Amino acid sequence: MPGKILVVDDVATNRIVMKVRLAEACYQVLQADGGLAALDLARRERPDLILLDFMMADLDGIEVCRRLKADPDTAEIPVIMVTAARNSEEKLRALQAGAEEFLPKPLDELTLLARVRSLLRARETARELALRDGTRRVLGFDEPAEDFARKGRIALIAARQAQALHWKGALSRHLNAELTVMTRDGALALSDSGPVPDLFVISADLERSGAGLRLLTDLRSRAATRHSAVLMVVPEGAREAAAMALDLGANDLVNSPFDGPEMALRLATQLSRKYQSDRLRASVKDGLRLAVTDPLTGLFNRRYALPHLARIVSRAGETRRPCAVMLLDMDRFKQVNDRHGHAAGDAVLEQVARLLSAELRAVDLVARIGGEEFLIALPETSLEIATATAERLRLQIGETPVLLPGGKGAISVSVSIGLTLCDRPGCAVDALMQEADAALYAAKADGRNKVTIRNSAA
């Protein structure tokens, strides 16, 4: 399910053309013929992204964007403003109103789809962090304190030092941040032991064409800089380079030469998002680690899993996108402990936990909720995909021998899995757990080492 996109334009032909382009990329497309209709549809349908025309008869795009961003129910939906004008003042007004991007007509399909993919990816990451942080607060943990005195660190990496110094001068008049000219080698030498920039501004072309894109890839692959924001500066008309930068993980991009006020506004927005992500990431990592994780496997425990499952089910109802729930249980686990000792049983549980974590997405919930029982929840997953996932997990566990402690050989284990689906609003967590448990019992009764499916209950 790539995403739900709302197209807002008072010209029917424009909406139809946009719908065809997006539908070919497998996006679900909603349409609104004016600003007021867009506001109503955004509140009801909660799209993942909005493509908003600048000029409309009832409300212009700027006012629609302001109202969207002022409403808590729609504030986090990314907005791409679309216009036939190429006025830098209008672009600045759109960004100040909260739009994430401003694209001129006629739209370039390559650039548009790359922007859409990038914004949807960022939105999903933010939603997942917020979802986990919400679960943390439900469990009674304090809200992390905001660091109001924090001053952003921005590294400027250009093809020539003179160009980077020019950027620094242009930005220093509009942005209160620590601006540092840096080389490619200096960026790659950064480590967790020292200060790391919150944001990199990188020219797409450094010592040679495309070198900036390779630097972006390197920064995303390193632990020290993986979570730093990156804004790429690409030459005017470099469509493929711009699309590639976004797909490689750039948070934003501008064309060179850039406008100082616009660039400063984009950088301030990215810094704000970076700080929010840092706070949420830290709260999830530190606030939950000891209280809600299983000490043996490192997975979440029952205390965390059930409230988080409730939030996944609730979001499935809001978005009308199904989620799958599985209960996985080790077959004849007592025999492992009886024959080989409890250390062997622990080794089995640890290996199963590693396999589950490796085979599932970061957004999926994996928890140990009993002695040898695991809970798995897959947001935004159809029954077909969930069934294939369950079978893959069953086979992977069964085909991977467990090395016994002390060099005492290896054993094979199997699991039984009960699967159910929440595919409509109003699913109850207790009912889903009962259905998954009934499916698990049926798998055991049918000879074990099986996946069994039961219908969900409201």
Burial (CB < 10 A; 0-12, 13-18, 19+), residue 226, is exposed
Which two three-digit tokens encode residue 453?
A: 């499916």
Residue 185, φ and ψ in degrees, nearest 5: -65, -35
H-helix or E-strand spanning residue 299: none
Six-digit token string for 122:
């960022």
CA pair distance 293, 285, nearest whole angstrom: 11
**Cα distance between residue 249 and residue 121, in whole Å:** 9
Q: Write down the H helix ranges in 320-381.
A: 333-340, 342-359
Catalytic choice (262, 372, 380, 435): 372
Phi, psi at 116, each rounded to 5°: -60, -50
Radius of gyration of the CA atoms of the chain, in A = 25
- Residue of 215, 430, 255 lying closest to 325 (CA atoms): 430
Q: Which two tokens stand for residue 435?
A: 């259905």
Active site (annotated) includes residue 109: no
- Adjacent-strand bridge partners of 6: 30, 50
CA distances from 325 to 136, 221, 390, 434 (A): 21, 32, 10, 11
Cβ pair 383, 324 in contact under 8 A: yes
Which residues is 30 bridged to in the sheet?
6
**Helix spans in 97-148 (H):** 109-138
284: left (phi over 0), alpha (psi -120 to 50) or beta: alpha
Q: Is 52 helix (H, G, I), strand (E, B) or coil?
A: strand
C-alpha–C-alpha distance, residues 326 and 364, integer Å? 11
CA distance 422 to 457: 8
Closest by CA position to 202, among listed 154, 247, 133, 131: 154
Q: CA–CA separation, 121 vs 128, rounded Å? A: 11
Give CA angle at 167 (213, 274), nearest 5°: 60
Considering only CA atoms, which of 395, 388, 360 is closest in space to residue 375?
A: 360
The residues carrying an active-site annotation are 372
